[in-house]
Chains A and B, each alone.
Chain A
Amino acid sequence: MNFEVLTPHSLASALDALASNEKLVPLAGATDLMVYLEAGTLAPCTFLNLQELWELRPVLALNGSLTLGALTTYRDVRLSAVKDHFPMLAWAAREVGALAIQSRGTWAGNIANGSPAADGVPALMAYDAEVDLASKNGRRSVPLAAFYRGYKQMDRRPDEIITAIRMPLPQPGWSDYYRKVGTRRFQAISKTLLAGRILLDANRTVKDVRMVFASVAPFTLRAVQTEGLLRGRHLTADLIGDATRAIQDEIHPIDDIRSTEAYRRRVTANLVRDFLAACGPVC
């Protein structure tokens, strides 16, 4: 095995290392990288072990917004009180593998791995999360919804690492919906997934909505057009029907080892209907 590991003990030295060697591969919970390594699909490289970086330590800071330190695991979120404000984070965390994966896998790693089937990213995206990136040359933030550009293509330069994930505190009145469809209830990778949030007014008019899908496009997909169709409209059975049709033009599911395009299209439409029919308060 031709793999080396660098374990820096401060963010500054980690960023120095990244600046001088762009081939370094950041290593957090290792739950994805160890699979690639074992499958023999990783070229020999040097890993940058982030586990000793105090600056990235698991923190869940709640003050007007929520900040997750880059090493925050799914388990950290499940055990914290933030799930009272961000219930979907806890639901999503529960859907990642099973307990032994949740205690190692990190939210930032889920983002940086860039899998279109990520379970955590859709929930973060539905909460309008921003990704904090740092390099030797400075820091910047990118909205998660604008982070992906293609399959495993993202707005992260090789000399940058994710230092934190931030989300605004949700306003009262939103309803959350999260449903993952996999081969099994746990320990499965999704065939399709919807993380949805909706804000209805007393007349059942859609004031605002977020719909984020996994496994039906080359990357985690926020369905902006379908959201636009719904926004400002009275939520009726007809509108729900329109949304299930509109989503078909936005997703690009494929046949692969886990499922088929046809199944994904049909079930994705069902999830949209289930979300819109069940989420809003009936009036």
Chain B
Amino acid sequence: MQISLTVNGKNYQVTPPPMKRLLDVLREDLAWTGTKEGCGEGECGACTAIMDGVLVLTCMVPICQAAGKHVTTIEGLAADGKLHRLQQAFLEKGGAQCGICTPGMIIAAAYYLEHPDEAEDIGEALAGNQCRCTGYTRIFESVKAASSLYSIV
């Protein structure tokens, strides 16, 4: 099955088995390894990406349903050699420790900054992203710091 999709602005043609997970296509076929696998069953959020403007878990998207879609992963956030303001905030505020949840966490946070009305607060916006290291407080602080940067700009 030939499928075309766009990842971080680049077009790709792939021919994976149709039920292959978008996560595996990203990591194995296209070498976008920033997106991580945690639980593999839709509970941890490590594999979160943005697909056609909505937040998705790439372990739950069969590649046949990603045909023609635009996918943004953690690698798509930094631009012109400059970190995204969320990445910068996570770095400065200690929002990341072991790093496995971080790509999904930052993607979900980026989605929230763009769509603040879709969740009641940061807690709900990041509720689908589990972190076992940080205790979340520093992640929340990082997102808050990034969002205040956002409002100034």
- On whether A and B touch (CB less than 8 Å), the answer reads yes
Residue numbers of A with Cβ under 8 A of B are: 1, 3-5, 7, 27, 30-31, 34-35, 37-39, 47, 49, 51, 75, 78-79, 94, 97-101, 103-104, 185-187
In angstroms, Cα B126 to Cα A98, docked, is: 8
Which residues of chain A are near B59, meaning CB under 8 Å?
A: 34, 38
Determine the chain A residues whose CB is within 8 A of the CB of B17 once the complex forms: 1, 3
Give me 7 other A-B pairs in contact (C-beta within 8 A), A99-B119, A101-B60 excluded: A49-B65, A51-B65, A100-B56, A101-B57, A187-B43, A187-B127, A187-B130
Question: Could you tell me if B42 and A34 are in contact, using CB atoms closer than 8 angstroms?
Answer: yes
Residues of B within 8 A of A47 (CB): 18-19, 62
B residues with CB within 8 A of A: 1, 17-21, 40-43, 45, 48, 54-57, 59-62, 64-65, 108, 111, 118-119, 124-125, 127-130
| Contact indicator B20/A1 (Cβ below 8 Å) | yes
Q: Which residue of A lies closest to B111 (CB)?
A: A99
Tell me, rounded to whole Å, the shortest Cβ–Cβ distance linking A184 to chain B. 8
Query: Within 8 Å CB of A37, what residues of B?
Result: 19
Which chain B residues lie closer than 8 Å to A186 at the CB level? Answer: 124, 127-128
CB–CB A49/B64 < 8 A: yes
A244 to chain B, nearest CB (A): 31
* Complex CA distance for A27 and B61, rounded to whole angstroms: 11
**Contact partner of A27 among B20, B40, B62, B119, CB < 8 A?**
B62
CB-based contact B19/A97 at 8 Å: no
**Partner among B60, B124, B129 whose Cβ is within 8 Å of the Cβ of A31:** B60
B3 to chain A, nearest CB (A): 11
Q: Are A30 and B61 in contact (CB under 8 A)?
A: yes
Given contacts A27-B62, A31-B60, A186-B128, contact A99 B55 (CB under 8 A): yes
How far in angstroms is the closest Cβ of chain B from A19? 22
Question: Cβ of B62 and Cβ of A98 under 8 Å apart?
Answer: no
Closest to A79 in B: B118
Among B57, B65, B129, the most chain A Cβ lie within 10 Å of the Cβ of B65
Residues of B within 8 A of A7 (CB): 64
| Chain B residue at minimum C-beta to C-beta distance from A42 | B19
Picked from A1, A98, A99, the residue with its CB within 8 Å of the CB of B19 is A1
B19 — which chain A residues lie within 8 A by C-beta?
1, 3, 5, 37, 47
A99 touches B18 (CB 8 A): no
Interface centre among B18, B42, B57, B119 (most CB of A within 10 A): B42
- CB distance A34 to B21 under 8 Å? yes
A35 touches B119 (CB 8 A): no
CB distance from B55 to the nearest CB of A (A): 4
* Residues in A whose Cβ lies below 8 Å from that of B64: 5, 7, 49
**Closest CB in chain A relative to B65 CB, distance in Å:** 5
Sample (27) of A-B pairs whose CB atoms are under 8 Å apart? A1-B17, A3-B18, A4-B18, A5-B1, A5-B18, A30-B62, A34-B21, A34-B60, A35-B42, A37-B19, A38-B41, A47-B19, A51-B65, A75-B118, A78-B118, A94-B124, A98-B45, A98-B128, A99-B118, A99-B128, A100-B45, A100-B108, A103-B54, A103-B56, A104-B56, A104-B60, A187-B45
